[in-house]
Amino acid sequence: MLADSNIRASGPSPWQRLTRHLMRSWQLLRRQQKAMAGMGIVLAFVVAAVFAPVLAPYPPTEQNFMDAMQGPSAQHWMGTDSFGQDILSRVFYGARSALWIGFASVALGLVVGVAVGLLAGLRGGRTEWVLMRVVDGLLAFPELIMAMAFMAVLGLGMNNVILALALSFVGPFARTVRADVLQVKARPFIEAARLMGVPEREIVRRHVLPNIASPILIQAGMRISIAILLASGLSFLGLGVVPPTPDWGLMIAEGRGFVSMAPWMAGMPGLALATLLIGLNLMAEGLRDALDPKTRGDKP
Amino acid sequence: MVYPSLAMGAHRLWRPLGAIAQTALVLLVVSGISFMFLKLSPGDPVAIMLGSDFSRDSYDLLYRQLGLDQPWFQQYVQWLSRFVRGDWGMSYVSKQDIFEQSVLQALPVTLTLAALSLAVALLVGIPLGVLAAVRRNSWMDLLASAVAIGGNAIPSFYLGVVLIWIFSVAFGWFPSMGYVSPWSEPLTGLWHLALPALTLGAWYVGLIATVTRSSLLEVLEQPYMAAARARGEPSWRVIWVHGMRNVLMPLITIIGLQLGGMLRGAVMTEVVFTLPGLGMMITSAVQTREYLVVQAGIMITALLFIAVNFTVDRTYSLLDPRLRKNAR
């Protein structure tokens, strides 16, 4: 404990350094037009998702067969589907499930992946070998196929989609974390802390985690758009969220059958999905350029 | 896929052997994961096979015949030996041999679609990337980056629906569904696969154009490019022979690395255009809860994935003489 307080007294703590690093990155991020455009798009979708009950002109599952399959009009800005449900309202509510699945599955996969990667990187030896061979095996399955297989075992529904996606993200996260831990572990300040008698848990919390935080954040940022893409893909295949939940993938699947009569049924939710994915990709690219010292100088 | 630490410093013979051993190990883990998946799947396999009406005795008999009374490890070894011999069981929905259904029927469809999409992507992506690099900051460059951003973000199932709407419904140029093998009927087959290949290829076009552009920009700065120009070689030769030769490496890397994305797109493209490939097979098998077929599907895709990664790793030394020299 004495050693601890000594370290704390000498200069900023690693977490303070990380926050400072993040603040600096934020300032760099603000200078990037691409990243800011992406952030604007994502923010608009977040607002639509949070305030869906206020913004949506109709309840998302209100069926009105008199108004089925109408084109965009003053009453229904994005038209109606084959059940006479208002597509604009369903797009707003769809943003909810898309963003929730995206963030939740990445967060869950991140926690488990970081734990596995830390364990492998810090323990080394046999533990590392076994864990990394399992990760290799997991990485040999393409993500979508893996998520589909998990859906077969778990059954349909939103929570299972989150679980299936999270499980298929554990491999990539674990691999990145382990590689970063191995790099950090070799640095002199870790050995110094160890020699000073700082307990292992404290070393991880104060020295390892802050130093691997930004590569993990970059990867998490990239994964969110993949998660949303995969989730809507699962619903499109009929292996994800179940109707009548307003979900973009489901809406596109339904609209596919009516593409000659009512192209807006698939067109509108697809447009929303593509726009959100473009926004997330731009944001993730900007985040990477701002946080990664290697690319920082390259792009203005 | 390859761990240099194990092969480093070893005799040159050990290098490929080490890679093969690593791959074999990954295959073993993959088979273990697939087997666990089958064991984890809900439902009683015996009850499913017997149908709704059966006696206690016939249940016990089948239970023993399937080896379910034996320990897990023994079950795994038996399953693996049957799997290696191609005895994958019968599908109770299609009443077909699963090996025949998946490897002989579905796999060629997916491979044909993937190959055609890759061809489309290379034919469009490479020239686009080269033009974007040579005429930097022109409208061509802008187009290339727009295609890259759009191709990366527009999901293939959505793009497929949009292409159907434009080219099948509005213009009526291409069919919106159905599969005819281009190997037996080239023209009809290609006509049926045109929209699917365009859908799946679009995702790759942007990626290939981006990589081509950025690598070529780097290569253009190299002294050997100036040397080639100084020798008076025509500019097309400078770019396409001296330049592109050095762009091939990063290009092949990215094509190999992004195969997962290709398979993801292939599954969705097959479902949009109702092509009877692996993606379609796995999707309907998950819906009807046919775990044996799902398992066959995930094993095949994993094997495909591993095989491509392995080949991509091997190709490096063929393309880059510097790596070859080090290996010897």
How many whole angstroms separate alpha carbon A59 and alpha carbon A67? 14
CB B168 within 8 A of CB B175: yes
- pLDDT band at B256; cut points 50, 70, 90: confident
- pLDDT, residue A194, reads 84
Tokens 């939740």 map to which residue?
A: A104
Structural domain of residue B64, as residue ranges? 2-84
φ, ψ for residue B43, nearest 5 deg: 95, 155
On whether residue A19 sits in a domain, the answer given is no
Q: What is the CATH number of the domain that holds A219?
A: 1.10.3720.10
pLDDT of A250 above 70: yes
B163, B249: one domain: yes
Comparing alpha-carbon positions, the chain B residue that sits nearest to A149 is B294
Q: How far is CA B37 from the centre of its chain?
A: 22
Q: Mean pLDDT over residues B4-28, rounded?
A: 65
Q: Residue B90's beta-bridge partner residues?
A: B97
- The answer as to whether B40 is a domain residue is yes
Element (H, E) at A13: none
pLDDT at position A105: 94
- B25: amino acid identity, one letter: L
By percentage, how much of chain B surpasses pLDDT 90? 0
Instruction: List CB contacts of A277: < 8 A, sequence separation 6 or more.
Output: A225, A228, A229, B152, B153, B154, B155
Q: Residue B141 domain-assigned?
A: yes
First vs last C-alpha separation in chain A: 46
**Residue A10: inside a domain, yes or no?**
no
**Does residue B91 lie within any of the structural domains?**
no
Q: What is the pLDDT of residues B143-156, one digit of tens each?
A: 888 888 777 788 88
pLDDT in tens, B270-322: 888 888 888 888 888 888 777 788 888 888 888 888 888 778 777 766 776 66
**Are A264 and A251 within 8 A, CB to CB?**
no
Contact B26/A at CB under 8 A: yes
Q: How far is CA B314 from CA A53, B158, B252, B256, in A?
A: 56, 36, 11, 11
pLDDT at position A227: 92
Within a domain: residue B29? yes
Q: Is the pLDDT of residue A108 over 90?
A: yes
> Do residues B28 and B154 both lie within one domain?
no
> B185 with B291, same domain?
yes
Q: What angle is formed at CA B144 by the lines to CA B141 and CA B148, rounded to 5 degrees?
A: 140
Reply yes or no on whether the pLDDT at A2 is more than 60. Answer: no
pLDDT of residue B3: 47
Query: Looking at the domain assignment, is residue B90 inside a domain?
Result: no
Chain B residue with minimum CA distance to A259: B165
Q: How confident is the model at residue A113 (pLDDT cuts 50, 70, 90)?
A: very high
Give the closest residue to A94 by CA, choosing from A54, A43, A45: A45
Q: Are residues B180 and B65 in the same domain?
A: no
Residue B93 within a domain: no
What does the DSSP 8-state code read for residue A10? S
Domain assignment present for residue A219? The answer is: yes
Give A182's Cβ-side CA count (13 Å radius): 11
B166 and B273 housed in the same domain: yes
pLDDT at position B82: 82
Classify B96 as helix, strand or coil.
coil
Per-residue pLDDT band for B6 (boundaries 50, 70, 90) equals very low
Mean pLDDT, rounded, for A241-251: 84
Average pLDDT over residues B101-122: 87
Which residues of chain B from 58 to 117 reach within 8 Å of chain A, CB to CB?
Answer: none
Q: Is residue A71 part of a domain?
A: no
Q: Is B2 on the interface with A (CB under 8 A)?
A: no
Other Cβ atoms less than 10 A from the Cβ of B24: the count is 10
Residue B297 lies in a domain: yes
pTM, entire model? 0.82
Domain membership of residue A6 (yes or no) is no
Q: Is residue B240 part of a domain?
A: yes
Q: What is the CA radius of gyration of chain B?
A: 24
Cα distances from A149 to residues A133, A191, B123, B189, in angstroms, run 20, 43, 34, 31
Same domain, B149 and B193: yes
Token digits for B217?
Answer: 């920009």
For chain A, the domain total comes to 1
Q: Is the model's pLDDT at B260 over the cut of 80?
A: no
**Contact residues for B228 (Cβ-Cβ < 8 A; gap 6+):** B237, B238, B242
Residue B12 has pLDDT above 60, yes or no: no
pLDDT digit string (tens) for B40-50?
Answer: 777 666 776 66
Q: Which of A69-78, A104-113, B126-135 has the highest mean pLDDT?
A: A104-113
Strands (DSSP E) along chain B, which ranges? none
Give the structural domain span for A191: 24-52+78-296
Residues B184 and B60 in one domain: no
The alpha carbon of residue A196 and the mean position of all alpha carbons in its chain are separated, in whole angstroms, by 38
- Residue B244 pLDDT: 83
Q: In this structure, how many other beta carbons lie within 10 angstroms of the beta carbon of residue A283?
A: 26
Tokens standing for residue B224 = 């050997």
Residues B115 and B80 occupy one common structural domain: no
Output the six-digit token pair for B188: 């009809």
Mean pLDDT of A196-210: 84
Q: Pick from A53-57, A171-175, B162-166, B171-175 the range whose average pLDDT is largest.
A: A171-175
Using the 3D structure, point to which of B57, B84, B111 is the last residue of a domain.
Answer: B84
B264 contacts in chain A (CB < 8 Å) = 142-145, 230, 233
Are B31 and B175 within one domain? no
Q: How many domains does chain B have?
A: 2
Sign of the Cα pseudo-torsion (B256, B261, B265, B267, in order): positive
Identify whether residues B108 and B66 lie together within a single domain.
Answer: no
CA distance readout (Å), A213 to A26, A32, A173 = 15, 22, 12
Q: Could you report the per-residue pLDDT of A88-101, keeping only the tens digit for each?
A: 888 888 888 899 99
Chain B residue numbers with beta carbons less than 8 Å from the beta carbon of A255 are 161
Q: Which of B150, B263, B271 sits opposite A145 (nearest CB)?
A: B263
Rounded CA separation A20/B192 (Å): 57
Over residues A253-276, mean pLDDT: 82
Residues B109 and B60 in one domain: no
Tokens of A86: 């208002």
Asked whether residue B326 carries a pLDDT value surpassing 60, the answer given is no
At A86, phi and psi to the nearest 5? Answer: -75, 120
Q: Measured between CB atoms, which of B154, B157, B260 is closest to A142? A: B260
Number of C-beta neighbours around residue B268 at 10 A? 27
Boundary-marking domain end, from B52, B84, B116: B84
* Average pLDDT for chain B: 79
CATH number of the domain at B244, please: 1.10.3720.10
Separation between Cα atoms, residue A109 and residue A174, nearest integer Å: 9
Q: Are residues B80 and B130 in the same domain?
A: no
Is residue A73 situated within a structural domain? Answer: no
List pLDDT tens digits, range B218-229.
Answer: 888 888 888 888
Q: Which of A41, A135, A148 is the best residue to mutate to test the B interface, defined by the most B CB atoms within 10 Å of its own CB?
A: A148
Task: Report yes or no for ipTM above 0.85.
Answer: no
For B183-210, how does the pLDDT look when each residue is reduced to its tens digit (9 = 90+)? 777 777 777 788 888 888 888 888 888 8
Q: Confirm whether A271 is domain-assigned.
A: yes
Q: Which two tokens stand for residue B120?
A: 């489309």
CB B88 within 8 A of CB B285: no
Residue A43 lies in a domain: yes
B260 touches chain A (CB under 8 A): yes
**Type and span of the H or E element at B66:** none
Q: What single-letter DSSP state applies at residue B12?
A: T
Is residue B55 pLDDT above 80, yes or no? Answer: no
Residues 6+ away with beta carbon under 8 Å from A124: none
